[in-house]
Structure 1
Amino acid sequence: MDGRAMREGRALGKGSSSKRAVFDLHCDTLDRLALHGSSAYPAFAPQDEAVPHARMSSLADNDAHISLDRIERYAWCQCFAVFVPDGLSGDAAWRFFEHVRAYFAAQMLEQADRIEQVLDAREVGSVLAAGKSAALLTVEGGAFFDGKSFERVDGIAEAGVKMLTLTWNGENAVGSGHDTECGLKPYGRRVVAALEDRGIVVDVSHLNDRGFSDLCDVATRPFAASHSNARAVCEHRRNLADAQIRAIAEAKGIIGLNYCNQFLSATSADPTHDDVLRHIDRIAEVGGEDVLALGSDYDGCDVPSWLASADRVSGLYALVAAHFGSAVADKLFFENANRFFARNEER
C-alpha cells in the first residue's frame, strides 16, 4: 500500500487505523543525540551538557523534542536531518556526516520494531500501516562538497538521503546562506543537476535570496523549502518572500512550516496560535493549499511553549482544522508532503 491509501489525515491498516498522520520535513534530533557525550565533537546544544547521557542517547526515549515514545500515538513520518556545521568542510565535513549517519543506522537497527528507514518514499504508507514510524534521512548543509567532484552526491544517495539543504547560514562550495550575498556557484549549479539526477530533493531553506533566484534558473524538478515561513508575516531573512513562495508553488514544490520562535514572530518570545495561523494563511494565500507542509525544526531551535515537544502537535492540528477546515489541516499535516516525495520517486 502506498501513500494514496492515506486519507483524512489517518493511516489505514493494522496498527495505525486510529492514528493522526504526520509528515515532518525537518528536525535536528539526530545531531542532538549523536553528539551527546561524543569525544570527537562538542554537544549540539550547550544546555544538553548538563543532561545525563542516558536521557540523550536513544531515539526511543529521551529529553529531546522528538522520541519514539512521544510520536507513537501518531502515524508519523519524520525527515531526520544530518546537520553539517559551517565550520567544517571537505573531508572533515564528510566524516561528521558519517558519524551522525552511523548513529541513525544504529538506531534504525536497535528500534527496528518501531521505526524504519524509507528508501522509496512511495513506501511511507506501507510502513505506517504496519504500525511503525517512518524515517527519511536528509542532510542540512552541503559543506562536504569539495568544489570539484560529485562523488558525494552518489555517497549520500547510497546512504538513502532523500533531500539536501544546499547551505546553512554561511558559504560553502555550492553557494551561500544569509551570511553573504553570493548566489549559487558554477559548481553548485552542477551539484543541483547531480542531486536531481539521483532523485535527491533540493532544499532551499537557508539559501540566500540570490541563491534562491539562481536555483530557480537551473532547477528542472520540484524543490522544497523544508523549514521556512512567510517573510510578509515575520520579516526574517530566513523566511520566504511572497515571490519565492509563488516560485516554489509554480514548481510544484513544498514548504514546511517552521516552529522556530524567531521565524514565527519578531515581537513575541513565545509565539501564539495566531502567529502560526498567519503564516499558514499567507503561504496558502500566495502559493495555494497544496504547497503547505510541516517543517518543525524540532531539536534545532526554541519553539512555542504549546508546541514544546512532538507529542503536542495534535493541538496544532485542532487549531488549523478549526480555522481552515480539516481538509487543509490534512494537507498540511501529511497529504501534501507524502504526495510530493512519492512523485519525486517517479523519474
Structure 2
Amino acid sequence: MKIMDGHCDTLTKLYMNPKLDFHKEELELDVNYPRLQRAGIKVQCFAIYLSESIHQPTFDHILQMIDIFHRKIMSHPGMSFIQNVPDWLAVEKSEQIGAILTLEGLDAMAGNMTYLRILYHLGVRSVGLTWNYANWAADGVMEPRKGGFTLKGKRMLRELETMGIIVDVSHLSVKAFWEMAELYGKPFIASHSNAGSLCPHPRNLSDEQISAIIERQGQIGITFVPYFVEPVRAPVQISQLLTHIDHVCSLGGENHVGFGSDFDGIEKWIEGLRHAGDYENIIEALCKNYKEAQVERFLYGNWQRFMLANLPK
C-alpha cells in the first residue's frame, strides 16, 4: 500500500548535524531513504523548521535549509521534487518517492511578502503560520495571551491565498484558527495534530476545529507524538493512536484523515512506531480494524485527493 506522510522534521536534524546522511539507514534519522523505501512511503512532506536554538532566525536560515533539502535529500536518484499536480502524477507513474517542501513558522519572514514569493518560486507549497509561541504574524497554541492575528499576519494570509500556498493550522492558537478560517477562503490542513477530546493537549484539535477542517474539504494528519495520543506517561500503543482516527471518522472525516508522523521532531515514540520504516506495523493494525478501501484512503488516498485539488495545476 502507498503512504503519504504530511510532516517530518528531518531537515532540522540535517541542519543541526551536517554529518548525518539521508541516503543511508542512519540510526539518528527517523526518516531516511532506505526507511521510506522499505515502508512504501510514496510522498513525504519535509518541513523547514528553525529550531529554538537559533535565537534570531532570518530568511538566510530558511535558504540554508532549502539548500540542504536539495543537496542531501533531492540528490538521491530515488527522490523527486513535487511542486505541482503534473509532478505528483509523474511520481505516481514512477518508482521514485515524492518530496513536498513546507515551512513551519513564519518567524524568519519578518513580514516580508517578497520573501514569501521567493519561497513559492523555490517550491514551498504549505506554510504553518506559527510554531508554539507568538511571532509577528499570529499567536501559537502555547502563547499565554491566546491572541489571534496581527494586521501584518492577516495581510500575509491573504497573500498565501492569492498565491495558492496551503495553510497549515497545526500550531495556531484557537483564536487565530477561527480568524484564519474566516479570512482564508481555501481548504486548509492540520498536518500533525490529534483529537483534543481524546487527549486534551493544547496542540490537539477540538471537535469544532476538526469539523471546520472537514467542512472546508481540508485534511488532518494524525500524528505519532505519544503525548498527543494519550495524556498518561505509560508507553502508548498503536491501538490508542487508531482511536483518534475513529474519532475523526465519527465527525464525518473518513475522507479527510491521514498521517503526519512528526518523525525527527520527537524524542519519545509510540510502541512499534520508532521510525518511518515501522509504518508496516500501523498498516497491520489498520487492516485488522478497517476495510481495505478505508485503509488505503487513510494511508494515501485522502492526502492524494487533497493535494491534487490544491497543488498548483
Q: TM-score, normalised by structure 1?
A: 0.84
Gapped regions of structure 2 (runs ≥ 5): none
| Structure 1 counterpart of 2:13, one-letter code | R
Of 118, 129, 138, which residue of structure 2 is paired with 1:175? Answer: 138
Gapped regions of structure 1 (runs ≥ 5): 1-19, 38-52
**Residue 159 of structure 2: aligned partner:** 194
Shift in Å at residue 341 of structure 1?
1.1
Tell me if the contact between 1:122 and 1:342 (Cα under 8 Å) persists in the aligned partners. Answer: no
Matched, 1:123 2:87: yes
**Residue 24 of structure 1: aligned partner:** 5
**Residue 289 of structure 1: aligned partner:** 254
| Structure 1 counterpart of 2:125, one-letter code | K
**Residue 71 of structure 2: aligned partner:** 106
Shift in Å at residue 33 of structure 1?
1.5
Greater displacement, 78-87 / 208-217: 78-87
Tell me if the contact between 2:237 and 2:271 (Cα under 8 Å) persists in the aligned partners. Answer: no
Shift in Å at residue 174 of structure 1?
1.0
Deviations 1:254-313 (A, max 9, x none): 000110011011014321132111101011111421110110000101221300011111
SS, match of residue 289 in structure 1: coil
Tell me if the contact between 2:73 and 2:79 (Cα under 8 Å) persists in the aligned partners. Answer: yes
Q: Distance in 1 between matches of 2:294 and 2:156?
A: 35
Q: Distance in 1 between matches of 2:80 and 2:154?
A: 33
Tell me if the contact between 1:234 and 1:264 (Cα under 8 Å) persists in the aligned partners. Answer: yes
**Residue 42 of structure 2: aligned partner:** 76
Of 182, 198, 201, which residue of structure 2 is paired with 1:233? Answer: 198
Structure 2 vs 1, CA of residues 75 and 237 (structure 1 numbering), >3 Å: closer, same or farther? closer
| Structure 1 counterpart of 2:68, one-letter code | Y
Tell me if the contact between 1:108 and 1:116 (Cα under 8 Å) persists in the aligned partners. Answer: no
Q: Distance in 1 between matches of 2:203 and 2:148?
A: 15
| Structure 2 counterpart of 1:224, one-letter code | I
Shift in Å at residue 184 of structure 1?
1.4
Q: Percent identity?
A: 28
**Residue 342 of structure 1: aligned partner:** 308
**Residue 4 of structure 1: aligned partner:** none
**Residue 116 of structure 2: aligned partner:** 153
Q: Distance in 2 between matches of 1:165 and 1:86?
A: 16
Tell me if the contact between 1:88 and 1:143 (Cα under 8 Å) persists in the aligned partners. Answer: no
Structure 2 vs 1, CA of residues 186 and 311 (structure 1 numbering), >3 Å: closer, same or farther? same
Structure 2 vs 1, CA of residues 239 and 308 (structure 1 numbering), >3 Å: closer, same or farther? same
Q: TM-score, normalised by structure 2?
A: 0.93
Tell me if the contact between 2:130 and 2:171 (Cα under 8 Å) persists in the aligned partners. Answer: yes
Number of residues of Structure 1 aligned to a counterpart in Structure 2: 308
**Residue 100 of structure 2: aligned partner:** 136
